[in-house]
Amino acid sequence: MDFLYVKSLHIIFVITWFSGLFYIVRLFIYHSEAEQKTSPEKEILQNQYKIMSKRLWYIITWPSAILASLFAFWMLYQNPSYLKMPWMHVKLSFVLALYVYHGICHKIFKQLQNDIVEYSSTKLRIWNEVATIILFSIVFLVVLKNTINWIWGVIGIILFSLLLMFGVKLYKRIREKN
């Protein structure tokens, strides 16, 4: 198969993988917030979130992660010179971080499927931004094809993270007032 077709399929499944990760954490947030409701509303909502989460997780998110990786390996097989480029090593480190994130989301998914609500909606909102930071890092590395001046890159990611956390806290305050 032509390299550009493989690359296109890789990009498509990366997009659906991230979409699944972003949406699953939103469902975790809703599931956590439903914990504060009274019966029978609590049970009805949580059962619905379990069904939605299970379908999203096993029909979209996991398959997308596997297919994105399969097409990535295929591209590396077709063009092994990429493995000699320093930016690719950094990108692969972020992909590893994304799989760790995915694994932690899987743990949270399993807990919620078993009615264990361990995290507050605020913690889950902050957790949701971790995927955003990984996404930004990977996209900039792939587009710029360099390891980006590490000092500025690290400072930028830290500032971006602080800005996201501030946004989450501000959103929480606005919601509590309404």
Q: How far apart are CA 109 and CA 122, in angstroms?
A: 17
Does 106 carry a binding-site annotation?
A: no
Q: Where are the alpha helices (DSSP H) in the chain?
A: 3-34, 41-55, 62-78, 86-113, 121-144, 150-177
Structure tokens belonging to residue 51: 């069904």
Q: How far apart are CA 1 and CA 148, in angstroms?
A: 32
Q: CB-based burial of residue 29 (10 Å sphere; 0-12 exposed, 13-18 middle, 19+ buried)?
A: buried
List Cα–Cα distances, 29 to 4, 19, 65, in angstroms.
Answer: 38, 16, 22
Does 91 carry a binding-site annotation?
A: yes
Between 41-55 and 3-34, two packed helices, what is the crossing angle to 10 degrees?
A: 170
DSSP 59: I
- The binding site for heme comprises 10, 91
Give the residue numbers of the binding site: 10, 91
